[in-house]
Structure formats: C-alpha cells, structure tokens
C-alpha cells in the first residue's frame, strides 16, 4: 500500500515540475504502479466479457414491453406508406388483420389503432367516431373477433374525426373543455363496445379520465383499462403522425391543452389528477426528450408508466440512418433502452415490429 508520506512526496515532485521531478520520475512510476495494483474497485471487471456484461445488465427491453401503433385506412388490399415515416404504412382492414397476425407471431401482442379518415367523414363534433358501422369501430370488432388474445388499445380524442383538426370541440376559436368531455366519454364507450381492452385518452382535456371511467363503469365496462396520456406535451415531434392521419390543426396550435415543454412540476399535477380519477397507466409523450418526466412519474407513482416513442423520434432515426450517418438499428435499441431505464414499463413505438424481428 502507498504510505501517505510517499504519496505527498509524489505530489510534490509533480508540482515542482523541475529537476526534482525528473530525478524522481522512476519513483513516481513505481508508486503509480503500486497504487494501481491495489485498486479495490475496478468497475471494468464487470465489463470484461459479453457474458458478464449480460449477467449484470440492469435493464432489458423485451417485446412484452411494446405496443405497436397502427394506422387504419378505408378500402381493400390498400397500403400507403407514410412519407415521413419510412416502413410505416396506413393499412386497409384486411391488411391490418394480416399485419397483426404477423406481429403476433413475432411476439407483439398489444396494438394501438388510429384511424385515418378523408375529409368527408369529418365534422365539428367528430360524429363519425360514434359510427358503429364506420371504419374504426367495425375494424376493431373484426380484430378482436379474429385475435381475442391480442390486447387492443384505442385512441380517444376528436382530431382524426374533427374538421377543425383539434382534440376538442371548437367554438369561436376556443377549445371547449367540459363540452368535449361528453363526446370523449361516448367515444370511449363505443370503443369499449367494439372490444377495446385499453382506452387511451390523448386529448388533454381536464377531468377526462374520471369522466370516461364513470361512463365506462356505468355501461358495465369495469374491466376496460385507461392508459391516460398524462403528460402530453405540445410538441413538434408529432409532425409525421399528423401527416399519417392528415389531422393537423386547421388553425392555431394545441398549446392551450397540451403541456408546455418547459414544465415538469405540472406533470405531477396531471399525474395526481389522472391517478385519482382512476387511470391504470400514466403515459409520458413524447418520450426521448422527456426521460426526466418518465423518471419523475415513476419515482412518484406506483402504477405502470408508459412512454410514447412518437412519430418524429422514429422519423429522425430513419432519416439519419438512410443517410448512413448513424447505425439505425443500434440507435433504435439504445433509445428504447433509455426509455425503459428511465422508468417506463410500457413503450409505444413504431419500431416494435422491426425490434421484434431483430431479436428473433
Ligand atoms: C392525437 C394524437 C397525436 C398523437 C397521438 N394521438 C397527435 C397530436 O396530439 O397532435 C401523436 C403520436 C405520434 O406523434 O406518434 N390526439
């Protein structure tokens, strides 16, 4: 062991930086070697081989953690790629059933379905969202009939059906809160009737989780879960999703209901409310730029935290990988891992299928 006196000498030699240093260089090196030999903690020991690295790995992403978002369009045998999301397609019902079948074989069992509707199905009140024979609800029914063991999550918000492109009811340029709740609750019940296992309110209206919970319970859907978009930020990362559904707001932005990216304490308020109102999962969205929020909610709440790895996060990886600037597969895996490490036990991601393929 290096004695304190010798260590002091060593330090002095170095500080003097003169002949004494040169004269003592032999001593310095031997002291250094002696010091190294006696290192008690060498974290590199746990990194010395692939087997040991795997043995001590704290966090691992599996297909069980993933929810695959899918875009639905009308028609038969129709498939159209989302320009800003290479590899992601809007699918007609028949092809969606095939896609789900393929994914189930790869081990993905939970799907979040979003409808892409043409303008003729849109109005101010999102009436189409309640149409049992319409594209969305009838396809949900088919999916559940064919794959009863699959878990189907649905989206509750007005935007895919709204001629205003907003998540709530618009009056004189204002997004109304309480009037929207009635529509959302009916939407949730209609989706539950069609077989939804998890309802995903993505609208950010105040009080919607409690309102929806009550409506579901009244109709006997006490077993239908709610994954609340708890901390959903007004984000530029949703751009490609809005391309996919043609659902961008027709005026203004979503900043009066979605959260300000500068805030984290507000996420705790939203989480408190959602928890008290009966949410089964708390979601943070987007995920990658909000890992601190995922951790914050996971540290403070004892229900599962979900992270939505959103469209823009997917698009960035795909774009850079296409240019050969990054290794897309490794970046994908690292991103998913970071979300889980931050505290998300569920990850909604467009990478789900390719991730599942990559580990097969
Ligand atoms: C709509 C909704 C959005 C997303 C999910 N549900 C977009 C928005 O709020 O404008 C975004 C998902 C993504 O970007 O991948 N309520």
Domain boundaries, the chain: 4-56, 63-359
**Contacts of 261-265 spanning 24+ positions with Cβ under 8 A:** 261/233, 261/234, 261/235, 261/289, 264/292, 264/293, 264/296
Q: Is 29 helix (H, G, I), strand (E, B) or coil?
A: helix
What gap in Å lies between CA 37 and CA 110, rounded to an integer?
A: 52
With a 6 Å cutoff on the Cβ, whether 274 touches ligand 1 is: no
With a 6 Å cutoff on the Cβ, whether 313 touches ligand 1 is: no
Q: Is 232 a catalytic residue?
A: yes
CA atoms within 13 A on the CB side of 78: 12
Q: Is 254 a catalytic residue?
A: no
With a 6 Å cutoff on the Cβ, whether 155 touches ligand 1 is: yes
CB atoms inside a 10 Å sphere around CB 198: 21
What gap in Å lies between CA 290 and CA 210, rounded to an integer?
A: 25
Please list the residues that pair with 114 across neighbouring strands: 71
Q: Catalytic residue, from 122, 285, 318, 353: name it.
A: 285
With a 6 Å cutoff on the Cβ, whether 311 touches ligand 1 is: yes
Each residue's pLDDT tens digit, 326-343: 999 999 999 999 999 999
Give Cα separations from 263 to 233, 234, 295, 302 (angstroms): 9, 11, 14, 22
Each residue's pLDDT tens digit, 260-311: 999 999 999 999 999 999 999 999 999 999 999 999 999 999 999 999 999 9
Q: Domain 63-359 classified CATH 3.30.450.270?
A: no
Each residue's pLDDT tens digit, 45-87: 999 999 999 999 999 999 999 999 999 999 999 999 999 999 9
Q: Catalytic residue, from 232, 254, 318, 340: name it.
A: 232
């Amino acid at each position: 062991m290096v004695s304190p006196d010798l260590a002091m000498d060593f330090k002095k030699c170095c500080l003097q930086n003169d002949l004494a240093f040169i004269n003592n260089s032999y001593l310095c090196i031997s002291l250094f070697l002696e010091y190294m030999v006696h290192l008690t903690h060498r974290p590199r020991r746990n990194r010395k081989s692939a087997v040991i690295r795997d043995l001590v790995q704290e966090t691992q992403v599996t297909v069980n953690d993933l929810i695959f978002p899918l875009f639905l369009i009308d028609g038969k045998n129709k498939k159209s790629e989302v320009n800003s999301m290479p590899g992601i397609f809007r699918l007609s019902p028949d092809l969606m059933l095939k896609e789900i079948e393929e994914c189930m074989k790869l081990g993905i069992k939970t799907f979040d379905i979003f409808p892409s509707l043409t303008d003729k199905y849109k109005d101010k009140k999102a009436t189409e969202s309640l149409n049992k024979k319409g594209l969305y609800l009838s396809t949900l029914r088919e999916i559940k009939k064919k794959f009863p063991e699959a878990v189907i999550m649905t989206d509750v918000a007005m935007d895919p059906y709204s001629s205003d492109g907003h998540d709530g009811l618009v009056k004189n340029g204002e997004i109304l809160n309480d009037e929207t709740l009635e529509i959302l609750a009916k939407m949730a019940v209609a989706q539950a009737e069609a077989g939804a296992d998890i309802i995903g309110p993505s609208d950010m209206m105040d009080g919607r989780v409690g309102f929806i919970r009550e409506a579901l319970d009244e109709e006997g859907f006490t077993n239908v879960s709610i994954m609340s978009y708890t901390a959903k930020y007004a984000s530029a990362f949703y751009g490609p999703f809005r391309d996919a559904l043609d659902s961008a707001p027709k005026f203004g932005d979503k900043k009066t209901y979605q959260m300000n990216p500068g805030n984290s304490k507000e996420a705790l308020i939203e989480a408190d409310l959602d928890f008290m109102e009966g949410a089964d999962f708390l979601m943070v969205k987007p995920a990658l730029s909000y890992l601190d929020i995922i951790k914050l909610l996971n540290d403070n709440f004892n229900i599962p935290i979900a992270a939505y790895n959103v469209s823009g996060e997917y698009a960035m990886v795909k774009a850079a990988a296409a240019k050969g600037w990054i290794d897309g597969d490794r970046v994908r895996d690292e991103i998913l891992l970071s979300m889980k490490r931050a505290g998300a036990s569920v990850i909604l991601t467009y990478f789900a299928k390719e991730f599942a393929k990559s580990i097969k």
